[in-house]
Structure 1
Amino acid sequence: MGLFESLANECVPEELTVESISAYGDRILRQSAAENWDEEASKLSSAPLPELIALAEACVRNGKAESLPLVRLAMRELTETAWNLVFTDASDVFLNCPGILAAEGDRVLRKLLERFESLRNTGSGFQAYNYLETATRIALAGAARELRVVDVLLDLTTDDSPELLERVPRLLGIADEVWGQSRSRNVLLLLTDVEETRGAALFELGLAELRDSLSASNHVDVRTHLTAGRDNFLAAERVVESQDDASMYRRVLDAVLSFGSVDAVNRVNEAVDALSLVVDRRAALMTGLGVRDWLQSRGRAEVEWFSVARMLKECVQDLHRASWLQPAQAMERVLSAYRADRSITVLNSASGLRMVIQPVIHAAFIRREGLLAHLEDLASEPTTEETASAVLREFLTAVRNESPDEGGDCLGKALEIAPNLTMGLGVSSAPAIVHLVEQQPDLAAQLERDYAERRLASQLATDPLIDDLLASTRIALSDSPDFNGKTEIEFLGLAELIFQFMASRADIGRRTLGPRTEYLYPHPAGKTYTENYLQRDLGEFLQGTPLRPGVRFEESDVGSGRADLTVSTYLNRFSIEIKREIEDAGRESIRRKYSAQAAGYAVSSAGLGVLMVLDLTSHGNGVPSVRDSVWVEKVSIPSGADRFLLVGVVRGNRPTPSRLRVL
Structure 2
Amino acid sequence: MTPLEMRFAQPGDLPTLQILGGEDVVWDHMEVLEGSPVWFRVAETLLAEWDTLRHPEKAAKLITEALRRTNSAAAVDDVLDQVCDHFGYLQRADSSLASLALDRSRQHDSPLVAELAGMFLEAAMRLTLAGVGSRYGVLARLVDRDAVSAPAAYSRRVVRLLGIAYEHWRDTDLLEALRGFLGTAVHGDASYELAMCHISDAFNASERPELMRSFACAHGHLRAAIEGDEDRPDASAYLAAIEAVLAFEAGRTDVLSNASKKLRRHITEHTMWLTRARNRWADGRYDMEAAWYDLSIDLEEASFFLDQPLTVWPTRTVQHILAVYTAHRAVRIGPERESAPGLQFLIAPRIEGAFVRRDGLLLHLRAMLAEPSPNWNADAAEELRAAVEAHLHLGVPPPGVDDSGKAHVAARFPRLAAAIGDPLLAPFSEAMLGEMERQLADREVEIAADLPVAQQAIYNEIISALEECPDFQGVVRQGFVRLTTQLIRFLANRTNRGRAHHAPRFAYLFAPAPGGKLPLESELQEDLQDYLDGNLEDVDIEVWDRSGGRADIVVRFPGFEIVIECKRTKGKTTREGLRRYLGQTVAYQAGGVTLGVLAILDLRPKPDWIPNIRDSMWADRIQAPEPSQRDRWAVVVRVPGNRVTPHDM
* TM-score (norm. length: structure 1): 0.51
CA deviations on 1:528-567 (whole Å, 9 max, x unpaired) are xxxxxxxxxxxxxxxxxxxx999922228965653999xx
CA contact (8 A) 1:129 1:164 kept: yes
- Describe the shift of the 1:219–1:30 C-alpha distance in structure 2 as closer, same or farther (beyond 3 A): same
Asked whether 1:333 is paired with 2:327, we answer: yes
CA distance in 2, matches of 1:215, 1:564: 52
Aligned to 2:341: 365
Q: Matches of residues 255-274 of structure 1 in structure 2 within 5 Å?
A: 255-261=244-250, 264-274=252-262
Give unmatched runs, 5+ long, in structure 2.
Answer: 310-317, 372-381, 400-441, 460-484, 503-530, 537-649
Q: How many angstroms does 1:119 deviate by?
A: 2.4
Over the aligned positions, Cα root-mean-square deviation in angstroms equals 5.1
Q: How many angstroms does 1:146 deviate by?
A: 2.3
CA distance in 1, matches of 2:158, 2:457: 52
- Describe the shift of the 1:320–1:29 C-alpha distance in structure 2 as closer, same or farther (beyond 3 A): same
- Describe the shift of the 1:35–1:327 C-alpha distance in structure 2 as closer, same or farther (beyond 3 A): closer
Q: Which of 191, 201, 207 pairs up with 2:181?
A: 191
Q: How many angstroms does 1:86 deviate by?
A: 1.4
Q: How many angstroms does 1:274 deviate by?
A: 1.9
- The letter for the 1-side match of 2:215 is L
Q: Matches of residues 306-345 of structure 1 in structure 2 within 5 Å?
A: 306-320=293-307, 330=324, 332-333=326-327, 335-337=329-331, 339=333
Aligned to 2:409: none
- Describe the shift of the 1:360–1:388 C-alpha distance in structure 2 as closer, same or farther (beyond 3 A): closer
Aligned to 1:150: 139
Aligned to 2:157: 167
- The letter for the 2-side match of 1:333 is A
Asked whether 1:289 is paired with 2:276, we answer: yes
CA distance in 1, matches of 2:457, 2:235: 42
Q: How many angstroms does 1:375 deviate by?
A: 12
- Describe the shift of the 1:244–1:368 C-alpha distance in structure 2 as closer, same or farther (beyond 3 A): closer
CA distance in 1, matches of 2:175, 2:458: 52
CA distance in 1, matches of 2:199, 2:274: 21
- Describe the shift of the 1:557–1:216 C-alpha distance in structure 2 as closer, same or farther (beyond 3 A): same
Asked whether 1:178 is paired with 2:168, we answer: yes
CA distance in 1, matches of 2:457, 2:210: 47
Q: How many angstroms does 1:76 deviate by?
A: 0.6
Aligned to 1:105: 94
* TM-score (norm. length: structure 2): 0.52
CA deviations on 1:409-432 (whole Å, 9 max, x unpaired) are xxxxxxxxxxxxxxxxxxxxxxx9
CA distance in 2, matches of 1:558, 1:212: 49
Instruction: Please give the secondary structure, in 1, of the residue aligned with 2:187.
Output: helix
- Describe the shift of the 1:183–1:63 C-alpha distance in structure 2 as closer, same or farther (beyond 3 A): same
CA contact (8 A) 1:553 1:564 kept: no
Q: Which moved more, 1:155-164 or 1:117-126?
A: 117-126
- Describe the shift of the 1:578–1:39 C-alpha distance in structure 2 as closer, same or farther (beyond 3 A): farther
Q: How many angstroms does 1:220 deviate by?
A: 2.3
Asked whether 1:205 is paired with 2:181, we answer: no
CA contact (8 A) 1:308 1:334 kept: no
CA distance in 2, matches of 1:550, 1:119: 66
CA distance in 1, matches of 2:178, 2:383: 47
CA distance in 2, matches of 1:230, 1:550: 45
Instruction: Please give the secondary structure, in 2, of the residue aligned with 1:178.
Output: helix
Instruction: Please give the secondary structure, in 2, of the residue aligned with 1:82.
Output: coil
Aligned to 2:66: 77
Q: Which moved more, 1:108-117 or 1:30-39?
A: 30-39
CA distance in 1, matches of 2:109, 2:220: 31
Aligned to 1:553: 447
Aligned to 1:134: 123
Q: Matches of residues 290-439 of structure 1 in structure 2 within 5 Å?
A: 294-295=281-282, 303-320=290-307, 330=324, 332-333=326-327, 335-337=329-331, 339=333, 359-362=334-337, 364-366=340-342, 380=362, 382=364, 384-385=366-367, 395-396=386-387, 399=390
CA deviations on 1:204-252 (whole Å, 9 max, x unpaired) are 1111111111111122222222222122212211111121111111111
Higher RCO structure, 1 or 2 (CA under 8 Å, sep 6+): 1
Aligned to 1:355: none
Instruction: Please give the secondary structure, in 1, of the residue aligned with 2:105.
Output: helix
Q: Which of 79, 85, 96 pairs up with 1:90?
A: 79
Give unmatched runs, 5+ long, in structure 1.
Answer: 14-23, 340-358, 403-431, 440-547, 566-576, 594-611, 618-663
CA distance in 1, matches of 2:173, 2:322: 29
Q: How many angstroms does 1:51 deviate by?
A: 3.5
- Describe the shift of the 1:309–1:259 C-alpha distance in structure 2 as closer, same or farther (beyond 3 A): closer
Q: How many angstroms does 1:310 deviate by?
A: 0.6
Aligned to 1:249: 238
Instruction: Please give the secondary structure, in 2, of the residue aligned with 1:245.
Output: helix
CA distance in 1, matches of 2:444, 2:213: 34
CA distance in 2, matches of 1:615, 1:86: 52
- The letter for the 2-side match of 1:86 is A
CA distance in 2, matches of 1:275, 1:97: 36
Asked whether 1:28 is paired with 2:13, we answer: no
Instruction: Please give the secondary structure, in 1, of the residue aligned with 2:132.
Output: coil
Aligned to 1:627: none
- Describe the shift of the 1:140–1:375 C-alpha distance in structure 2 as closer, same or farther (beyond 3 A): farther
CA distance in 1, matches of 2:80, 2:306: 52
Instruction: Please give the secondary structure, in 1, of the residue aligned with 2:150.
Output: coil
- Describe the shift of the 1:360–1:82 C-alpha distance in structure 2 as closer, same or farther (beyond 3 A): same
CA contact (8 A) 1:53 1:90 kept: yes
CA contact (8 A) 2:155 2:186 kept: yes
CA distance in 2, matches of 1:304, 1:563: 38
- The letter for the 2-side match of 1:269 is S
CA distance in 1, matches of 2:169, 2:455: 54
Q: Matches of residues 493-642 of structure 1 in structure 2 within 5 Å?
A: 552-555=446-449, 561-562=455-456, 615=534
CA contact (8 A) 1:251 1:271 kept: yes
